[in-house]
Structure 1
C-alpha cells in the first residue's frame, strides 16, 4: 500500500472524545499521525451527544446508550443501527485495527471478514476487572468468552507492554503476541528545559515554595486506587503536601465524601476533566510526584506523560505498570496500603534530590514520541497487509 491508494485504515474503539481515557488518547494519536503522514483513516465509535472535531479523517458513529454506572461512557448497540453495517461493507478498508473487543470490536471483525482485510486487535485493559465492577459472575464468564473469541479471531494481537502478556495468558489466549508501545504527545527539548517549565508551571498554578504537589490523572474509579491516595493524604497532614485529581468517574461522590470525612478539603482538590492539553501539561510539570496506586492498569500512558514533564511516579509493587519502573532510578515503588504509600511520600519529601534524580531517569527512559511509534505502526500495518495478501 502507498499513500496514493484509495484504501483506508480503520480505527475502532468504544470511546472517543468527549470521553477521555488512555485508550481514547491512543486512538486520537493514531488517527492524528496517520493523517499527517498522508494515509486515509477513519474512526468507528459509539454515538455521543457531543460531536468531536474530526478534520482530516472520517468519523462513523453508531447507536448508543449511556452507561449509568460508568458515566460518561456509552455502550454501543450496532445491531439496531443498519447504517453502520452498510458502512462496514462499503468503506474501502486496507486494514482494520480495533482497540476494544466489545461493540466496536464486533464491527471491526465484521468489516474484516466481509471485505477480506486483516484485523489487528490491541489488548489494552483488564477486561474481566471492568466487567466484574457491575455484572454478576455468570454474565462476566459469558462476556469474557466472547472477548477471547474476538481476540482469537484477530489476525494479529498487539499488547502495549511486555508484562501485559501475563494478563492475556491468564485469560486463555494462546496465540502470538506483538509488543507495540504507546507514545506520548507532550515533548520537551531536554531536562534543563523540563526544569524551567516545571518552575514556571508551579508559579502559574500557585504552588508555594517548599510545598509538595502530588497528582493523579485518570478515571476516578476504585480500581485505580483513588481512595487509597486520599487515605494516604490523611496520614500526611503534618506536611505541606497538596493533592490534585484530574478526571472523572463513578467514584467521584465517594471520593468527595472521604475527603470531607478526613477534613482534607483544603489539601485535596478534584479538578474534573481538563481537556486543554497545554493546561494539563502544566499540572504534570508542577507536580513533584505522580501517584498511581493501580493494580488494574496495563501500560498507563499517564505515567509516561508525567515522566516527560519531569515528574516520577509512585507505582504499586507487583503491578503490571511497575514493569518499567526501577525503584529510585526512574520512579518509586510502594505496597498497596495507605501507610506504605504515605511513608514513601514522606521519605521523598525529605529527600528532594532523590525525586530530581528519578525525574531525570523517568524523562530519559519512559518517553517515546507518537511520531516514532507511528513510524513503527505503519511498517507493521504494511507487513500485515502484505502477509495477509499472500495467505
Structure 2
C-alpha cells in the first residue's frame, strides 16, 4: 500500500478502556505489524505516556462532566498540534467517531483530497438523551451526525444489526460490515487459567461465576443483573462487576440494600488486559443485559475464553448469538432474566458446551480482522485513484 500515512481518528484511546478505543488500538497495532505506516489521532489525556511503536498525536482536551474518563477535544484551538497534523501526508483517514477527531479527519480528507472511512460504532442518541431533554436539539445533533457519515467515502458497521440503528437515525447510504475481533482469540491453557483464577477468587466447584465488564452506566442496564440475582440469592453463584461509571455508587447501594454483598463484588477498572483475560476464563457466564450497545467487544472477548454470554432478546448485540447454541437469550424483564439464570445454574454441562461453541463461532482474532481492513483500504485507495 502507499507508504504515506494512514490515520486512525477517535475521541478515545487507552487508558480509556471501551470497545471503540480498543478497536482503534488493535487496528493500529496490527496494521503496524503488517508494515503499514499508521498513526492514531486522539484527545490528550494528561499524564499519559504512550509506548506504542506507531505515533500517537494528541490534542488539547477537557474532562466531560459525569463521563469520566472521557475527554472533550479541541484540535483547532491547539494551534501547534493543528498545524503539525494538517501537514502530515495522509493517504487515507479512518474516523471511528463523528465528533472532534472525526471532524478533524473529515477536514484533512477534504483538504488533502484523500478518501475517508467512517465507522458507526455507537448509539449516539442514547448517549445524548440523558443530558439533552430538548427533543428539537436532540434531533439536530443526530442530523449533524448523519451528515458526517453521508460525507464519508465508505461507512462501516461492526455487525449487520447495527444497520437498523443508523437507518433509524436517517442514514440512507451504503454500509459495509467489518467485524470486530478479540486479542484473546486462540488463547491456550484456558482450563488452567480457569482453575487458577477460581482458586484465587475463592470460587468453589459447586458455584457458578458470573461476570460483567463495561461502563457502570444505566444505559447498559446493570441494575437488572442485581435485581435478578436478588431473586435467586439462594443459588450457588458469585458475581463480579469490572469497570466504573457515573452509576457505580448507585449500584453499590443497590447491592447493599438487597443484602447481596456476600454474593456480588465490584472489582473497579481493570487496565491489565492479562488480568482481565483471567476473569473471563474463570467465569461460567458473561451477563450483559444491555439494549444500548451495538456490537460490544466484551461478548467476543468472553467467547474467546469459552465463556458464553446471556443477553436480552431483541438487543442489537444479541444478533451474533443463537440461544442455547453459542450463547443464551432472555426476555427483557427481571423475572425472565432470573428464570434463565436458574435454568443455567442447574445445567452446568450445557453452559460448558455452549461456551466452547461460542469460542468457535463468535471469537475472531484482531490479526485476521486487520488483514481484511488492509485489503479494504487498498481497494478504496485504488477506486479513489
Partner of 1:174: 172
CA distance in 2, matches of 1:60, 1:261: 46
Partner of 2:17: 20
- Alpha-carbon deviation of 1:135? 1.6
- Report 1:152-231 matches (<5 A): 152-188=150-186, 193-231=189-227
- Report 1:232-271 matches (<5 A): 232-271=228-267
Match of 1:344 among 336, 340, 343: 340
Q: Which moved more, 1:41-50 or 1:22-31?
A: 41-50
**1:142-182: CA deviation from partner (whole Å, max 9, x where unpaired):** 21121111100100000000111000111111111000001
Partner of 2:364: 368
- Report 1:60-209 matches (<5 A): 60-136=57-133, 137-188=135-186, 193-209=189-205
- Alpha-carbon deviation of 1:189? 5.3
- Alpha-carbon deviation of 1:208? 1.4
Conserved? CA contact 1:11–1:44, under 8 Å: yes
- Report 1:263-282 matches (<5 A): 263-282=259-278
CA distance in 1, matches of 2:266, 2:346: 26
CA distance in 2, matches of 1:59, 1:97: 14
**Structure 2, gaps ≥5 residues long:** none
Partner of 1:354: 350
CA distance in 2, matches of 1:134, 1:46: 22
Runs of 4+ in 1 over 6 A off after TM superposition: none
**1:191-233: CA deviation from partner (whole Å, max 9, x where unpaired):** xx43343223322332112111100001111111111111111
Match of 2:42 among 45, 64, 86: 45
For this pair of structures, how many residues does the alignment match? 384
Q: What RMSD in Å do the two structures reach over aligned CA positions?
A: 1.3
TM-score by length of 1: 0.95
Tell me: CA distance 1:52–1:301, structure 2 relative to 1, closer, same or farther (3 Å): farther
**Correspondence 1:327 to 2:319:** no
CA distance in 2, matches of 1:355, 1:388: 48
CA distance in 2, matches of 1:124, 1:145: 16
CA distance in 2, matches of 1:57, 1:301: 23
CA distance in 2, matches of 1:53, 1:125: 26
Match of 1:29 among 26, 33, 39: 26
CA distance in 2, matches of 1:247, 1:217: 6
